[in-house]
Amino acid sequence: MSLYAEITQKSIDFKVFEHLHIQRFSSDEILQTIKVLMGQAQYKQLSRALGEAGLAIYPNDEELLTINSLMATLDKNWDQVFEWMKTLMDLRGDKNSSSSYTIFTNALFNRLDYDSAWSTVNEALKRFPENQQLQTMHLKISEFRFHLEISKRPQ
């Protein structure tokens, strides 16, 4: 029985998320099941639980890290986005895309870690100087840093 079939049967047995049970499925099958579940509103929480279970088994799977980061972004869970994107970016090293930098910088910014967001967006712009999203983020972070600096000055 496929993972999707097991999860979506009428009487969902949450034992499917037990480490030993889900371990029999490949990371690709877990990923494909998450993608299908994400498209169905009634399975939103189920897709997130499956994503976390998948990462417990395959903690360095780039695709699972990416889809879990996406789901956390949709929930505006910036701490979780940060954790998963940090792991993903560390795994990819020099092969990170401009999109990865954008998501990671956005997570840092929304966690109010402006200094790290600033460093990250500057690093990203060295690699992708023409990227419009990164340029926009750079401007946004610059403005925030400027206003924070002004507010710290004595009147």
Number of domain units in the chain: 2
Give a yes or no: residue 47 inside a domain: yes
Is residue 92 located within the same domain as residue 144? yes
Give residue-wise pLDDT tens across range 61-89.
999 999 999 999 999 999 999 999 999 99
The secondary structure of 82-150, three-state, reads HHHHHHHHHHHHHHCCHHHHHHHHHHHHHCCCHHHHHHHHHHHHHHCCCCHHHHHHHHHHHHHHHHHHH
Q: 101 lies in which domain range?
A: 76-155
Give a yes or no: residue 105 inside a domain: yes
Report the predicted TM-score, pTM, of the whole model to 2 decimal places: 0.82
Give residue-wise pLDDT tens across range 102-130.
999 999 999 999 999 999 999 999 999 99
Query: Where does a domain end: 26, 59, 92?
Result: 59
Is residue 51 located within the same domain as residue 82? no
**CA pair distance 83, 149, nearest whole angstrom:** 28
Is residue 83 located within the same domain as residue 24? no
**CA pair distance 58, 23, nearest whole angstrom:** 9
* Beta carbons within 8 Å of 69's beta carbon, 6+ residues apart: 80, 81, 84, 85, 88, 103
Give a yes or no: residue 70 inside a domain: no
- Look up the CATH number of the domain holding residue 97: 1.25.40.10
